Amino acid sequence: MPLKRKQYDIAPAGPTYSRAVFAGNTMYISGCTARGTDSQGKSMMEQLDVTLGRLVAIAAEEGAGSDSFAKLTCFVTSMDDYKADPAQMEALFAKYFKGESPANSLIEISALAEPGLDVEIEAVVILE
């Protein structure tokens, strides 16, 4: 099965990777961040909002709804900051996934690619 690679203006990729790779009806989205937005350098929840929005917009461009997300892997620079306001975090996931939450892993790391980035999420989306 040949792989298809695609870039998106929604969340531009760097020169060494594709934003999404398709294998059959499965779309693998590279880690998205709030890079290049007003939320870069702001609170983790502001970055989470932008990042989830970008992921959902990428899937929508392929005709997939938020219920098509099978798996997320979330990388954060501070577990304490990420969990500081559970109600706000849960509200953001509800905003984008409307009760159809994907499987999700949460991993704390020491840093992301640029200063001011504290959340990065990669996703697996199942297309019709």
Give the pLDDT score at 1.
Answer: 80
**Sequence ranges of the domains in the chain:** 4-126
pLDDT per position in the chain (128 positions), as tens? Answer: 899 999 999 888 888 999 999 999 999 999 999 999 999 999 999 999 999 999 999 999 999 999 999 999 999 999 999 999 999 999 999 999 999 999 999 999 999 999 999 999 999 999 98
Report residue 96 CA to chain centroid gap: 11
Integer-rounded Cα Rg, in Å, for the chain is 14
The contacts of residue 69 (CB under 8 Å, 6+ apart) are 55, 59, 97, 100, 102, 123, 124, 125
Q: What's the CATH code, domain 4-126?
A: 3.30.1330.40
Note the pLDDT of residue 13.
84
Pair 50, 119: CB distance under 8 Å: no
Pair 49, 85: CB distance under 8 Å: no
